[in-house]
Every structure is written in C-alpha cells, then in structure tokens.
Chains A and B, each alone.
Chain A
Amino acid sequence: MDAAKSVTIDQLRELLAENAMLKTDASVIMEDTPLFGPEGLGLDSIDALQIIIAVEKKFGVAIGDASAAKDALQSLGVLRDWINRRLGASA
C-alpha cells in the first residue's frame, strides 16, 4: 500500500464520531489526546470494542486481543501508525 492510501487522522476522527460516545466534537481531538482516562476523552471498554470492530470493517485490520487493543488505542496518532504499519503504508 502506498502512502496515498494510508489512514489519516481525519478518517479516524470520523470513525470515532460514528462509533464512540464522544463528549466533545471529534474535530478538536488532537493526535496525541489519550482516548481513555480522565485526562483524555474518557472513552470506556464498550467504546473500545466498537472502535475495534469499526477499524476491522473499514480498514481490514484485525485487533485480535486485549494486548493489541491496549497498544493500538492509546490516541488517534498511535492508532493511525498502528493501522498503517499493518497495512504496509508509511505513517
């Protein structure tokens, strides 16, 4: 996959808006804003599974276990890089 087809932060903002119970407008979420915890977006485990399913459907990348989910779902930037590595695209 080339860089032109790599996943972008805007795509992930849209995915988050459609699949998570956001308390803020997705457009203001920064690359490094934590997805979980009081210092971040405060998403919960239900949001996490919704996002994982959406990522698998939209990008064809499986997040197979809890350890991978913890690695991938730290922030939108981390998730973008995580997906792009598995797609073979440049981040």
Chain B
Amino acid sequence: MNAALTPHGPGFRFLDSFELVEGKGVGRWTPSEDCWFFKDHFPGKPLVPAVILLEFAAQAAGVHWMSTEPQGGGEVFVASVDAFRVMASVPPRTPLAAGVECVKSLGPLAQFEVGISTEGRPVARGRIMLSRRLAGEA
C-alpha cells in the first residue's frame, strides 16, 4: 500500500513517492493490477482512466506546493484544469513519473505545469490550478 503522502484514503492515493529536484517536483506511481478501476476500465483491457492520470498529477502538484510553501497549511483542492492532453494509454504496472513545476502561486491559489511520462516517453501534460480553499468559500 502506498505511503500516505496525501490526506486521501488508501484507494485514492496515487503517489508511491515524491521528490524535489532543483525546485521541480517529481511524483512516482506504478499502478498495480489490483487497482479498483481496472476491472471495469476496461473489461479484458485494463487501462488507467485519464481522470486518474489527472488526479495523479494533481496529487504530485499538491505535495510539491505543501513541501515548498507549507505556511499556507490546510487541505489542497483542484480548482481548474487547462489544456490537459493524454498522449498514451497506460496499462497496469506501467511506471509513471509526474513532473510538476509551479508557474505562479498567489494567496490560496497556485498553478502548475504538469507532465506525466513513462521511462522518458510522454503520457500526458497540462496545467492544473490548486486551491487551499474550496470554490465559494470566503
């Protein structure tokens, strides 16, 4: 079972490890064939759903933000997603790396450029904005 790098329950943790390299974050995750979503996505042809790839990158970005700017505290939520493209399908046991770089943080919001790859080959990329408060909260 993955270590608890984020506050998620065990079924929704998509980070095996995280490290900071020269200011950029790298989250790693190798989805086990036991992951709950493979049974139905798709029967007989298991692939990691695109939304889970997005969540993997968002979790890496969240850990990056909490590591580099812990003074904001609190929980981190996805606020927006832009220009997210998926370039390759991901079967079980594919070693994934999510590179995350903070473009800008301002108060309770931060935007990250994210790029997911496997062994140097691109899988997905895009921009994710995270918030330290939910939309609509004062």
Report which A residues bind B (CB closer than 8 A): 44-46, 48-50, 52-53, 56, 63, 65-66, 69
Contact = CB atoms under 8 A, between A and B. Distances in A.
Interface residues of B, number: 14
A13 B106 CA distance: 23
Contacts of A46: 79-80, 109, 129, 131, 135
A24 to B, nearest CB: 20
Contacts of A50: 80, 82, 111, 129
26 contacts: A44-B135, A45-B107, A45-B109, A46-B80, A46-B109, A46-B129, A46-B131, A46-B135, A48-B106, A49-B106, A49-B110, A49-B111, A49-B129, A50-B80, A50-B82, A50-B111, A52-B104, A52-B106, A53-B103, A53-B104, A53-B111, A56-B104, A63-B106, A66-B106, A66-B107, A69-B106
Given A44-B135, A49-B129, A69-B106, 10 more contacts: A46-B109, A46-B135, A49-B104, A49-B109, A50-B80, A50-B82, A50-B111, A52-B104, A65-B106, A66-B106
Q: Is the interface of A mostly helix, strand, loop or mixed?
A: helix
Contacts of B109: 45-46, 49
Contacts of B104: 49, 52-53, 56
Nearest to A45: B109
A48 B129 CA distance: 12
B108 interface: yes
A16 to B, nearest CB: 15
A52 B110 CA distance: 11
Contacts of B111: 49-50, 53
Interface string B28-52: 0000000000000000000000000
A66 B105 CA distance: 10
B135 to A, nearest CB: 8
Contacts of A69: 106
Contacts of B129: 46, 49-50
Contacts of A56: 104
